[in-house]
Every structure is written in C-alpha cells, then in structure tokens.
Amino acid sequence: MDLVKELLAGSVRALSRLITLVENGAPDAARHLIELYPRTGRAHVVGITGSSGTGKSTLTDKITGVLRDRGLTVGIIAVDPSSPFTGGAILGDRIRMGSVALDPGVFIRSMATRGHLGGLAGATSDAVKILDAFGKDIIIVETIGVGQDEVEVVKAADTVLLVLVPGLGDGIQSMKAGVMEIGHIYVVNKCDRQGADQLVREVSARLEQDQRLKESRWEPPVVRTVASMGQGSGELVDALMKHRAFMEETGALEELRKKRAEEETLFIVEREIFGLVKKRLSLDQDSAKILKRVSEHELDPYTAAKKILEHTLKDNGP
C-alpha cells in the first residue's frame, strides 16, 4: 500500500497510519514526510493552550463546530499525558469533543507526550504536516495543560489562543512572563463564574503594559466565552480569522513560517548528530576510553564532548 498516494487521494485510514508511523519513530516515516512536504504550507495552524481545567477541549469542540458551519475542514491534535505503562495517551480528548467527533470533515487524533516537555508531543509538527498535506483548512493543536511550561506551542502554531478561567489563580498567572507572552488571542472561558469581569480587566491591563505588543501592530483581543454552552464561540472564530488576515496582509505569516522552517531544519541536524554520536559511543573503542577517563576524573566532560564530536563529524563528513 502506497500510504502517501492513498492519503493524497483522501484516505483517512492512510492518514491515521502515517501519523502512527511518525509518532512511533518508524524508519520509513521520514521518506513519507519528504514526499508530502511539497504539499504542505496551506493550512492555518491554531494552538490552544492554558492550564488544566480551563476547558480547552470543550472550547476546541465548539470552535470546530463554528468552523465547520463556515465550510472549513478541521484537523485536531489533542496532546495528552502519557501512560506510564503503555506510553499511550490517557485522557482521550475526543470524548469531550463529541459534537464533532463523527463529522467526516473533522479528524481528531490524541497524541501522548511520551516524556516530551513543553506541552507538545515530539511528533506534533510532523502530524501537522501530514494533516496539512491531507488538505485540512484549519489544524488545531491542543496542548497538554500543565501550566507555564506550555510555551513550545508558539513554535508550531500560526495563531495561539491562551485560555484562562476565573478561580484558578489566573489573575496571578496574567502577571507572569512566559505564558502570557505567547498568546495572539486571550480567551477568558467559563465567564458565567464569579470573578470573570475582574480577570478580563487584569488580563487587559497586563496586555496594555506589554512593551512587546506596543512594538507590534496586532492588538490581542480578550474574548469572553462559556464553552460548555457555546457562548462566544462565533466571536472567538471571528478573532481567529482576523488574526489570520492580519498575518497574511502584513507578511508576518510568511516570516513566521520561514523562521519555523529554519529552526526545524537545525533541530533535525541536531538530532542526526546526536544519533551519530550515540552510534559512535556504542561501537568505537576510542570514544569509550574517553568516557572512561571522564568517569575517573582524568578528563573534564567539556573537553571529552568536543573530542567525541570532532571524531564523529570527521568520520561522517563529506
């Protein structure tokens, strides 16, 4: 079975199998991604992040429904914690996306972090490419929900939605650097709760003080929602489309994707070098002797690392 050919023909089965291959690090996964790469770059990638309990999955479900009503196809990657026993995703976000789970225009995939930090699974960017090549108009990446470590989503998304709710200490969160700096749209969900108005004011004030935003022509909106009731979903999608149009019209989207492509290439180079070094350490006696000298305090680890790297690059160079 030619998985790439089947995927481009619209096979959901091939789509699922290709994502499984990249998630498992299969040897032939890279070959398929190489074939698919010319077909990528058309989908708009939306990252939805925020602390656990903010209602990210329900919000994803509701805005997906709005996007489908507007004639757009959607791919969803819901990143879950890993099972300590099987390594698989343990939450199963599609349960909380019941209203769109059976829609043929929607594809939902739960991916386990498998120890990968930053709120995303290691294979997330490859899964995004596969969904992009498949022809999805919008790809939503929902992060794991672990707090301030979730800044890595900014590297994968064209538009980042940061979800906050009253009553979870988000007033304090809104004053912290890191998480608050990654959003393009700020969502105050569960606005039927007490304290919602205060949280909106705090977030708005924090954004007004952000020097980074003063240097940008984009003014991040603060959108109120009650995702469980579908309230505010249309307004949130409007804000998303407005940001997409802004990025396209100003050339910011093209610049962002160029930078992302460069960073991804360097990451792959780093991964390949690590693989070469690891192979050398397992096969080469000289490298093993260098490590032994470090363990015996005859050589410092910095010099040792430089020596091993020089030997590896020399032996595997052009």
185 pLDDT more than 80: yes
287: left (phi over 0), alpha (psi -120 to 50) or beta: alpha
pLDDT for 122: 61
pLDDT per position as a tens digit, 22-74: 888 888 899 999 999 999 999 999 999 888 888 998 999 999 999 999 999 99
The pLDDT value recorded for residue 272 is 82
269: DSSP letter: H
Confidence of residue 83 (pLDDT cuts 50, 70, 90): very low
Interval 119-156: pLDDT, tens? 445 688 899 999 999 999 999 999 876 544 455 677 78
CA separation for the pair 121, 127 (Å, rounded): 10
- The class (CATH top level) of 41-250 is alpha beta
Distance CA(213)–CA(204), nearest Å, equals 12
β-pair type (106-112, 222-224): unpaired
193 — pLDDT class (breaks 50, 70, 90)? very high
- The per-residue pLDDT for 148 is 43
* Domains of the chain, residue spans: 41-250, 261-315
DSSP letter assigned to residue 116: -
Going by pLDDT thresholds of 50, 70 and 90, the confidence category of residue 181 is: confident
- pTM equals 0.85
Angle at 62 between CA 59 and CA 64, to 5 degrees: 105
Reading the block at residue 228, the tokens are: 């469980």
Q: Among 151-155, 266-270, 296-300, whose mean pLDDT is lowest?
A: 151-155
Segment 302-310 shows an average pLDDT of 88
What pLDDT, on a 0 to 100 scale, did the predictor assign at position 77? 92
Residue keyed to tokens 């914690």: 81
pLDDT at residue number 84: 38
Nearest by Cα to 93 from 54, 142, 24: 142
Backbone angles phi, psi at 63, to 5 degrees: -70, -30
Q: State whether residue 215 is helix, strand or coil.
A: coil
